[in-house]
Structures are given as C-alpha cells and as structure tokens.
Structure 1
C-alpha cells in the first residue's frame, strides 16, 4: 500500500512538469561540451535533486513580491489558462541553462530575452516596467537562485556547506549575466540580504491575485495532490518578511511532510535524467546508483557509454 501511494504521488508530481517541450532533446549532438557550469559544479548536484520541484514553486511565490515583475506576469502571461505550461517552460529554461551544451544554453537565454521584449506596461502603483530591465531580470533570476538553494538546504539529501552554498550562487550568476541581469550578489548571504532589502519590493493587488492562484490552481485531482504537498513545503521555506507580506504561513508539519515527499521522490526517481545526459555528453564518469530512470529512447548510446540502470517502478521522467 505504501509503495502504491508513493507511485501515485510520484506520477502526479511528474505530471506537473510534463507540459512543454522536453529539454536537452538534442544535447548528445554536442559531445564533449561541458556547458556553462560543468560536471564539477555545485549547481549540477543541486539542480539534479528532487528538491528542485519545491524550489521552482517557491521561486514563483517569491517573484510576486516585486510589483513591476508581478504586473508583467499578470498582464502578459497566459499562466491562468496554462499554469502547468508556465511551470514546465520555467523548468525547461532552468534545465537547459544548467545542464545544456553551450549552444543550448545560448538558445535558452535568447528565447527568454525574445519573450521579454514585448513585455512592458505599468504596475498597480503606476510605475513603468520593462521585462528586460536589468533590475527586473535580476529579481527573477535571484529569486530562482535563492529558492533552489533554500529548497535544497531544507529538503536535499544533506545541506550544503557555507562554501558550497556560495559556490552555487556564484555559478548561477553566470546564467544571470547572460540575461543581462544586474546586480548579481556573489555569495549566499549577499543574495539573501539583497532580496530582503530591495527597495522595490512591496505588496500589490497583482501579487495577491498571483498568490491566490498559486495556492489553488485549477488542476486535476491527482495532480493537485502532488502540487499541494510541494506548495506547502515551499511555503515552509519562505523568509519571515515574505510570510508577513503575503499572509501565507506553513501548515503544521508541512516541512516534515515535505521531507517525506521529497524523500519518496528521490528514492523513486533518483537524480535528474538531465544531469545524467549532461554527464554522458561531456564524457564525465556516471556515478553508479545515482540515476534510476532510463535515458530517453532517442538518446542513442553505444554499449560502452550506456550504464546499467537499477530496476524501479515505472515513473514519469522529471
């Protein structure tokens, strides 16, 4: 019964991120390319863990604290009609910039920049905004970085050391720089303080509308179960000032439920198959037992490069 419940939660969670093009579909066409960050980076370890599911949802919540950023989302995004599409597109961008070969990294960044060009207008407080503005881009990027780090520290297999947390943030600034985002704090404490102290941060009606939607999006029941567990786990990692601004507060036991859920996902899914693909593409060693999902059927490998996969229940690839 426990195994059946785990399988249902894993399947429902996987469906949250399966509503867009599969990232890295052609990554093996770039053999030997280590990408922007490379196999020795902290980022490959952090972004390959199941805690990334919580980090992505937390980032969407955090980004609503900037009135001009959230106004751009409310006025230009189709997230209400296609919430899982937005989540999947965000996940694909993060995957491609983290694990992609350099042509894939550059294409992902170019795609975001092109999508941002027509996004402009005025926020609730009548300030003009433009999505490509360096500070707006920095808010979105820095909230992502901070959220993935917070989720990993709370729900990862073991917390990063202070030095590795700083390395993760510094690595992520390379992605932010390609987007033209400024400023990009270089360490974890600097990043946390910049997010907390940014003068532009304020509550808004657009924020409340986005939070209401993120709290209870129109999802099918099986998917909603998985999403709700991840959402509550994300809320449990929010800083106190964000809790005060939004009125969100973690339910009793949400962090422990989050750890249990992420543990089940980690046990069943293993590490991200995108990490696996990137290691194979770069010719780096593939650790035994880390990856539980088979590589995509169209990822043609010779017998020397195809590692043995442990037997696991059928799951939805993350």
Structure 2
C-alpha cells in the first residue's frame, strides 16, 4: 500500500511538471509575440490610486483582460481592411510588411495603455499615436483622399476595435455579458474615442454593429486585399502559425457578411468550436491579462476571486 502511494505521488509530480512545462512554453511563445515594444505600463506604479480612463468597476477591464481579445485584435484588423481609405493609409504609411511583430507590439501597447494605464500613461499613448498619424495622408486606389486625422477614419479604426473586442468576448469569453453590460462597454469606450477625436461614436452595441456593417464607405480595394492576404499567413513560427490560423478563422466567423464579402473571406466549418477550444486552453495556460492585475494593484483594488493572474503584485507582465 505504501509503495503504491509513493508511485502515485511520483506520477502526480511528473504530470504536474509536464503540465507546468507546456503552460510555461505556451506563455513564453504568446508573450513573445507582443514583446517587440517597451512595456506600456512600466511606470504604472508611480501613479498609486489612479483608476485610469475606465477604472476597476468598468466592463472594459473585464473584456480587455480576457484572452478572447487575441481574436478581437485580428477581427479588428480585418474590418479595418474593409475601408479602402483606411487600408490605403495602413499600406502606404505602415511597417506591417517589414516589421510585423513590431507593429503588432505597438498596437497592443496602445490598447493596453489606454485600457489599463494610469491617466498619464493613457495621455502619453494617445499623444504618440496622434503624432504617428499626422503624416498619414494620401489618395486611395479608388481615388478618394484620406487622412488619419479625419474624424470618420479615426472612428472606423476605433469602432472596429471596440466592436471586435466585444463580439469576440461574447463568442469566446468565459461568460456572456448581459445586453446592458455590452452597451455600457460601448458607452465607456466613447471616452477614448473622444480623446482620439473620432466621430461618429455609437453609444450602444446594436448601433455600433450597424454603423460598421452598413457603412457606405465599405468596399474592396487592392490595399485591403493585400492586408487580408498578409493577415491570413503572417510570418510566424510553425507551431504559432497553427494556433494563429484557428484564431484567424474564429475572427472571420464572427464578422458581418457585408464586411466579409468586402474583403473576400469566408467562414470555415468548425471555426467557432475550434476557437472556443483554443481560447479555453489559452485561458488555462495564461490566466487573465497581467495588465489588468497591475491596474487593479495600482488603483488599490482587490483582485477578484475566481480569476487567475500569472503575475504577482507589483509586476506588470
């Protein structure tokens, strides 16, 4: 009997070691994708009790703290490609082809800083993005002028992000938000949209979805097609690419048909099931966003029960 217990304990230790091993590798690989830019919250603990733009009671922190935001980010980029002028601005003034991981990290830094940063970090991130967007002017392939400073173009980028993070959470998150919670999230995000000088800014989930899917500016373009082609097969390591493909297909299956048709993508059978499985694996391995935990710690708010974070108090990543 004693021998059996010793073997059983040894077996348990091996299983725990194997489990922690693959979790550590998955965490390292995932975090590595977003580590090509400085930590946007590296100074966040210099601002104690600062709730940031949204605060610990917001729906924003709940949505942005979940791994479903990975799908949301891909979906937002696909939707942005459905606006020919936005797609032209990205194609002609961005480094996504030459430095895809750098651009991914910088975009993630903006999202993280504005969602979870203290107000000085929010303002710094917005200032950096506004400065980078200032020279983004030109003419699209359909002959229309574009400017990243145009409120409608800024709104397309902003609203695509907000709708995508919400839809991805509703489809692949740990819980389904109530309608009023979804509307609260969209309304919260008008604060960020106003700081980015974006307009119009729908104030509830239904009007946001409608504004995107029925927008008269939606259309096909050479630049949009190039962006989608790149997003389908980005230069990633082999095993990362397998997981990415599942996330990509999950993003496509949640898009409105009008936007899918504009960029020429079609949902694949089983994409939602595969997306749900992978997000559960990622949630188990990664836990919730360390930026969310850092924001809670900075604001003096107790971390919620039942939600696991991989970072200890005082650590941002």
3-state DSSP of counterpart to 2:171: helix
Kept in 2, the 8 Å contact 1:236–1:254? The answer is: yes
Kept in 2, the 8 Å contact 1:20–1:88? The answer is: yes
* 2:61 equivalent in structure 1: 44
Query: Which one of 170, 189, 199 corresponds to residue 172 of structure 1?
Result: 189
1:188-203 aligned within 5 A: 188-203=205-220
Kept in 2, the 8 Å contact 1:141–1:181? The answer is: yes
Kept in 2, the 8 Å contact 1:39–1:279? The answer is: yes
* 2:87 equivalent in structure 1: 70
Does 2:269 align with 1:258? no
1:15-54 aligned within 5 A: 15-54=32-71
Task: Count residues with an aligned counterpart.
Answer: 300
Query: Which one of 275, 292, 302 corresponds to residue 309 of structure 2?
Result: 292
3-state DSSP of counterpart to 2:146: strand
3-state DSSP of counterpart to 1:87: helix
Does 2:129 align with 1:119? no
Q: What root-mean-square deviation, in Å, do the aligned CA atoms of Structure 1 and Structure 2 show?
A: 1.8
Give a deviation string over 1:162-217, Cα, whole Å, max 9, x none. 00000000011110100100000000001011111211111111111110011001
Shift of 1:247: 2.3
Query: Which one of 218, 228, 235 corresponds to residue 218 of structure 1?
Result: 235
Does 2:283 align with 1:275? no
For structure 1, which runs of at least 5 residues remain unmatched after alignment? Answer: 300-316
Does 2:90 align with 1:80? no
For structure 2, which runs of at least 5 residues remain unmatched after alignment? Answer: 1-14
The 1:247/1:287 distance shift into structure 2, 3 A limit, reads same
82-91 or 7-16, which moves further after superposition? 7-16
TM-score, with length taken from structure 1: 0.90
CA distance in 2, matches of 1:246, 1:237: 14
* 2:76 equivalent in structure 1: 59
3-state DSSP of counterpart to 2:307: coil
Does 2:114 align with 1:102? no
* 1:309 equivalent in structure 2: none
CA distance in 2, matches of 1:296, 1:227: 30
* More helix by percentage: 2
3-state DSSP of counterpart to 2:138: strand
Give a deviation string over 1:19-66, Cα, whole Å, max 9, x none. 221121110000011111110000000000110111011101110011
CA distance in 2, matches of 1:191, 1:297: 36
Q: Computing the radius of gyration over CA atoms, which structure comes out larger, 1 or 2?
A: 2
Shift of 1:298: 6.0
Shift of 1:69: 0.5
Kept in 2, the 8 Å contact 1:9–1:226? The answer is: no
Kept in 2, the 8 Å contact 1:57–1:231? The answer is: yes
Shift of 1:288: 3.7
Shift of 1:13: 3.1
CA distance in 2, matches of 1:124, 1:152: 34
* 1:160 equivalent in structure 2: 177
Shift of 1:88: 1.3
TM-score, with length taken from structure 2: 0.90
Kept in 1, the 8 Å contact 2:52–2:118? The answer is: yes
* 1:14 equivalent in structure 2: 31
Query: Which one of 185, 189, 202 corresponds to residue 202 of structure 2?
Result: 185
* 2:12 equivalent in structure 1: none
CA distance in 1, matches of 2:312, 2:38: 16
* 2:221 equivalent in structure 1: 204
The 1:296/1:74 distance shift into structure 2, 3 A limit, reads farther
